Chain A
Amino acid sequence: MRSRLLPSPAPGHADAHRIYSEHQPWLLQRLQARLQHRQDAEDLTAETFVQLLTQPDLASIREPRAFLTTLARRLLFHFWRRRDLEQAYLDAVRQIGDTHAIGADEQAMLTEALVRIDRALDGLSATARKAFLFSQLDGLTYAQIATRLNISVMTVRRHVARGIACCCAVAP
């Protein structure tokens, strides 16, 4: 298994390097203004350039800063979404009263799993997610789900279908 992200002898490497050295300080500064921790800003800046490397035809990019902003914006969104999810998970653990101490490794794996499922179900509302999970995890009938969520059976059906389609879209 070669590295997942990068074409190994990257043909656009020189271009990426040029764009990086010209615009990295600018991007870092922009991200730093949005993030509390310098480390996070540095990581996201680096991630942005990782993404840049995967773009075909780097030489043709005319507005590197606009391009970098687009990439960085998406990463920043994912970064914040991950934090929201982590927080919601910790809130849930507290609420459930789970007192098992879990290690940092395990926590990281759970967060990864959470992010992965959340991405898979991207675009599904909270209600749609509930309907989908009631069906797939609890085996409730659509009529039961409809009653619980106070929506129609047709809507439940649509949510479940959409959820399944989402899972199929991300699975390898």
Chain B
Amino acid sequence: MAQIEVRDLRKTFQVSARAPGLWGALRGVVRREWREVHALAGVSFTLEAGELVGYIGPNGAGKSTTVKIMSGILVPDHGTCLVRGRVPWRDRTAHVAEIGVVFGQRTQLWWDLPVVESFELLRDIYRVPPPAYARARDELVALLGLEPLLDVPVRQLSLGQRMRCDLAAALLHAPPILFLDEPTIGLDAPSKLAVREFVRRLNRERGVTVILTTHDMDDIEALCTRVIVIAGGQLLSDGPLGHLRQRFGRERWLTVDLSDPGQADPEQVDPGQAFRAEEFGARLVRRDGGRVCLAFDPERVKPAELIARVTARHAVQDLFVEEPPIEEIVAKIYGEDGRIFPGGPGSPPP
């Protein structure tokens, strides 16, 4: 049986709308106006134990709504959700004892207490038997390098340190499922790598199911074998990362370093000599000095052909072909193309 089963989830929120200005404020005294936001419009998916899933979408797409329903703190209007055979919001205490949740922007640790005291308090809250707690704590401290931080009050920790401590805190009770909400937001590069490495090991070596919500595509690329894309309350894509590229990422990028940088600058050179991407059947992505980046559809113009066309007209020092970064692909999905985008209220494209 699947570990997490979500079927046709729907959720609508009522948001109060207040008219601006003084007159609006006075009117607000008498009567309140409401607006409906359809956060989820029929979301379904299934997760097996041990998967590491990326859950991405623009702001307001319904990501946090889905995660809240799966963790049991929000009740959907329609649809079913089963986590390890339980309905999360019905058996709340039994359910939350088996999940760990980390919010990137909020810590669950006690602000004024040393880290280890927060851990001990959580041990008591989750009723973890002392030997199991000691084992989990020591392992997590070792894996995340928390030894020097244990006696430091949480308010004195840097963001990266706090995130590592929050990760440990969420796992002290050895939950089989972990929800990570923007875990690398605001972290510096080394901390991001540390967090990713930890999550990867957690999933590969311990088999912990991880649901990762993030805007950082590097997280997705580094960790996720499966990506679910949601926008406007509906799923746009659900499958391996490779499929995402395949479906939306047919483009390739050709980057050339021109021998004469001036040729790339349309203002410097006369029209006869200027670099024109359209002539080659490509689209100009960016220009940086003598380095020009072109996007092209390899089904219409083969890479070799494009290279030939460019080098025929310009002297090229160096070049390489690559796949566009995942952000580009996702931006496309989110809604450069209006047709892909369902246009639900409350979910504007970034």
Do chains A and B stick together as partners? no
